[in-house]
Amino acid sequence: AQTVTQSQPEMSVQEAETVTLSCTYDTSESNYYLFWYKQPPSRQMILVIRQEAYKQQNATENRFSVNFQKAAKSFSLKISDSQLGDTAMYFCAFGKRQGAQKLVFGQGTRLTINP
Amino acid sequence: NAGVMQNPRHLVRRRGQEARLRCSPMKGHSHVYWYRQLPEEGLKFMVYLQKENIIDESGMPKERFSAEFPKEGPSILRIQQVVRGDSAAYFCASSPPPQGYVDTQYFGPGTRLTVL
The residue in chain A having the minimum alpha-carbon distance to the alpha carbon of residue B34 is A102
Q: CA torsion A96→A111→B113→A2, rounded to 10°?
A: 20
B100 vs A contacts (CB less than 8 Å): 98
Cα separation, B74 vs B56, in Å, equals 18
CA B107 centroid distance within chain:
10
CB of B55 within 8 Å of a chain A CB? The answer is yes
Q: Write the CA distances from A7 to A21, A81, A91, A97, integer angstroms.
A: 9, 23, 11, 25
Chain B residue numbers with beta carbons less than 8 Å from the beta carbon of A41 are none
**Cα–Cα dist A91/A49, whole Å:** 11
pLDDT tens digits along B63-77: 999 999 999 999 999
A23 touches chain B (CB under 8 A): no
* Residues from chain B contacting residue A101 (CB–CB below 8 Å): 31, 33, 48, 55-56, 95, 98, 102, 105
- Where b means 16+ CB within 10 Å and e means fewer, B53-90 reads eeebbebbeeeebebbbeeeebbbbebeebeeebbbbb
Q: What is the pLDDT along chain A (115 residues), one digit of tens a residue?
A: 889 999 999 999 999 999 999 999 999 888 899 999 999 988 889 999 999 888 888 999 999 999 999 999 999 999 999 999 999 999 999 998 766 578 999 999 999 999 9
